[in-house]
Amino acid sequence: MKETGNKSPQAYWKVNLRIMTGCLAVWAIFGFGASIFFAEALNQFEFFGFKLGFWFAQQGAIVVFVLITFFYAWRMNRLDREFDVHED
């Protein structure tokens, strides 16, 4: 990794860890919160004919995980360009 001004490897990893922490928090909220902890409250609503708590447990958590994966790849590409460590 090239050292460019104040953009040190430590700064890169600090930002990377912040992004990962945010992604994991979103995953935990949807994976555990929406499908387990709030299932009773969500089951009052229906989505495509299924109770919303069940839908989040079966499908929603997977959809959110895939979206988080795409977001992480997009954000890391931007971060790599910002710190000039990208691959062309």
- pLDDT tens, the chain, 88 aa long: 444 456 788 999 999 999 999 999 998 888 887 778 888 888 899 988 888 888 877 787 888 999 999 999 999 999 999 998 888 7
Is 60 within a domain? yes
Is 62 within a domain? yes
Q: What is the pLDDT of residue 53?
A: 83
- What is this structure's pTM? 0.76
Total domain count for the chain? Answer: 1
Is 47 within a domain? yes
Enumerate residues 6+ apart whose C-beta is below 8 A from 23.
68, 71, 72
Is 64 within a domain? yes
Is 3 within a domain? no
Is 1 within a domain? no
Beta-strand (E) ranges in 1-88?
Answer: 46-47, 50-51
Domain boundaries, position 75: 9-82
Is 87 within a domain? no
